[in-house]
Amino acid sequence: MVEEQQQPENDEQPDAGEAAVDEPAVESPQSAEGETAAVEGPQSAEEETAVAEEPATVEAAPEAEPEEQLTPRQRRKRDRSLHTREARPPRSPEERNRDRLERRAAKATARRRARSRARERRGSPGSGTSPQERTPGSRKVRQGVVVSAKPEKTITVRIEIARRHPVYEKVVRRTNTVHAHDERNEAQEGDVVRVVESRPLSRTKRWRLVEILERAR
């Protein structure tokens, strides 16, 4: 009777190997944290301090202020204040003047050299298009009546122009008044004279008396 009761108990208990295969292994959270800590290793005190101070540094970073616009004089003063080399001994006015003349001479030499190179690139004069010969143009000659001879060496000439209209075939008469130069005051009012175009002799005179064709009656 005792053997029969123990037999079912032995049958119901599974083997240790089968239990290991069927049930997955469950790891405790404490062991997993321990392995992670073992892999990463202990952090130093400086790293922990840097990690702790990092958010505060990011939050406390001020905004970049715009750069101040300095005048050339202020910029030179700032550069002199940042000068780290040895200061030169004070110079007399004669030494400063001599240095200034030397710099001017060096710049003049550089300008002459640059101009000579530019002339070489352009080539010798006359290598391009030959200049056109200048011939004096034909001057206008007009005939008119003297209407005023009161100013000194100046006469006022009225020039009458009669032309036929190109469309209406009608003779159109116009008058033009010019000031002419009379060097010897020969012309009088009412004379018929011939004048020629000339260079500007005054503010209003652009003509010169050539000859008197008919005297006034």
Rounded CA separation 155/193 (Å): 10
Report the range of poorest mean pLDDT among 25-29, 68-72, 163-167, 200-204.
25-29
Neighbours of 59 (CB within 10 A): 7
Q: Residue 109: how many CA atoms within 13 Å on its side-chain side?
A: 6
Residues 98-114, mean pLDDT to the nearest whole number? 96
Domains and CATH numbers, the chain: 141-214 (2.40.50.140)
Q: Please state the φ and ψ torsions of residue 123, each to the nearest 5 degrees.
A: 95, 175
pLDDT of residue 2: 44
**What percentage of the chain carries pLDDT values higher than 90?**
50
Quote the distance between the C-alpha of residue 16 and its chain's center.
92
Neighbours of 159 (CB within 10 A): 15
Confidence (pTM): 0.40
Contact 172, 163 (CB under 8 A): yes
